[in-house]
Structure 1
């Protein structure tokens, strides 16, 4: 496999918008998103200060899609602060609607490129990073577009606290292998699996996602990888 060793300042490829937003969705972009959006004009000095409460931990989800997992985790753990990154407008709109409906107060959002969000966060500020069913870019000429690579694994190592976790889920076996190789190669990470069941079973409290449901319908088996920051 060809590796991408050069640093990158962007990792987003693809469209940002699908179907036109409904009136209520557009309204949430106007009134709610500005209150929840990260200000990336300058580095974030204190990640805990992004939230109205002093969070027990801060978790980051990169590419949250329709927000099913992000919303579930935020409701499940109200003492934790969650940062969700999603450049796709329709996914962000769906998530904003659900945050408003449930009056969830422990989520902050960004529609910026995830690389820019990672670069803005302070050292050792996160307890968990989740990258769930990312675009696999299966063609060899597109492998350099995969979010997991030496540059972003180094970013994960910088922002995660010692003992923090990087969680990765995918139904594409080549991307699972790719991620294992890249993350295990980094000296600051340890793969937590000790037996096959550890990476074949979903995470505790896993709500499932629409991408996972599609994979299972089409006969693909997901893998759930957990790496610990040393």
Structure 2
């Protein structure tokens, strides 16, 4: 996008807020969110959609990893603790999930996380090319009805800008408990921009060595749905 491009108007499907926040969660939002939120992402802050400077996020040239829809933040904090020299960007429009992450960040004491509490498409608008070294999409909304499958992340609306911001060789990890989501991912993701590193279905149920099982996965296991772990690489 250029400096003359107006902010796009998009439909948003999903929840922005759930039940009332607890007092501690409200305090975390009030005290921590402004400090950790990325600048220049929203249309209000950056109506011309000028690219932001990735190096300014953490003040150095470290690798940046992106988690799209971090839920309650368990995996994001886990990765931040495992890789303190990497900068983690978490994107999540659900305010309750943002509050949960802020509490986990306080308890963990990690300093290598930045947030965009909104639609990842807005972040894609302003990230420059090839600036992300790894991306995670973990238990995304499955949109189970066939007429809603176009809302899934594994569609060109999201995959094209994701490919643009990923550097060559970057990994894109996808975890889901929905077989039809796997079907669509294997149809839509591999191609000129991505190759699948574990195309054999026999390998889809083996988690990554540094995996942290989230509450969404634990719910899936309780309900006897089998997790799938797919790894793609940016060509």
- When normalised by structure 2's length, the TM-score is 0.89
Alignment check: 8 A CA contact 2:177 2:225 kept:
yes
Give, in whole Å, the separation in 1 of the partners of 2:11 and 2:69. Answer: 11
Once the two structures are TM-superposed, the CA of residue 188 in structure 1 deviates from its matched residue by: 1.5
Give, in whole Å, the separation in 1 of the partners of 2:11 and 2:106. Answer: 29
Give, in whole Å, the separation in 2 of the partners of 1:11 and 1:62. Answer: 18
Out of 122, 128, 141, the position equivalent to 1:122 is 128
Which residue in 2 is equivalent to 1:142? 148
Runs of 5+ consecutive residues of structure 1 not aligned to the other structure: 1-7
Give the stretch that moved more between structures: 19-28 or 172-181.
19-28
Runs of 5+ consecutive residues of structure 2 not aligned to the other structure: 1-7
Q: CA RMSD in A?
A: 1.6
2:223 is the alignment partner of 1:191: no
Which residue in 2 is equivalent to 1:14? 14
Give, in whole Å, the separation in 1 of the partners of 2:76 and 2:132. Answer: 15
Which residue in 2 is equivalent to 1:110? 116
Give the stretch that moved more between structures: 168-177 or 96-105.
96-105
2:234 is the alignment partner of 1:206: no
Which residue in 2 is equivalent to 1:51? 58
Give, in whole Å, the separation in 1 of the partners of 2:215 and 2:112. Answer: 23
Once the two structures are TM-superposed, the CA of residue 223 in structure 1 deviates from its matched residue by: 0.8
* Structure with bigger RCO (C-alpha 8 Å, 6+ apart): 1
DSSP 3-state at the match of 1:200:
coil
Out of 71, 86, 95, the position equivalent to 1:89 is 95
Once the two structures are TM-superposed, the CA of residue 118 in structure 1 deviates from its matched residue by: 1.4
Runs of 4+, deviation exceeding 3 Å: 8-12, 42-45, 194-198
Alignment check: 8 A CA contact 2:73 2:101 kept:
yes
Alignment check: 8 A CA contact 1:11 1:114 kept:
no
Give, in whole Å, the separation in 1 of the partners of 2:9 and 2:75. Answer: 27
Give, in whole Å, the separation in 2 of the partners of 1:207 and 1:122. Answer: 29
Once the two structures are TM-superposed, the CA of residue 48 in structure 1 deviates from its matched residue by: 2.4
Give, in whole Å, the separation in 2 of the partners of 1:158 and 1:136. Answer: 24
Give, in whole Å, the separation in 1 of the partners of 2:105 and 2:201. Answer: 36
Once the two structures are TM-superposed, the CA of residue 11 in structure 1 deviates from its matched residue by: 6.5
Structure 1 residues 14 and 128, CA, compared in 2 at 3 Å: closer, same or farther? same
Give, in whole Å, the separation in 1 of the partners of 2:147 and 2:231. Answer: 27
2:37 is the alignment partner of 1:37: yes
Give, in whole Å, the separation in 1 of the partners of 2:152 and 2:196. Answer: 20
Which residue in 1 is equivalent to 2:222? 217
Give, in whole Å, the separation in 1 of the partners of 2:60 and 2:31. Answer: 21
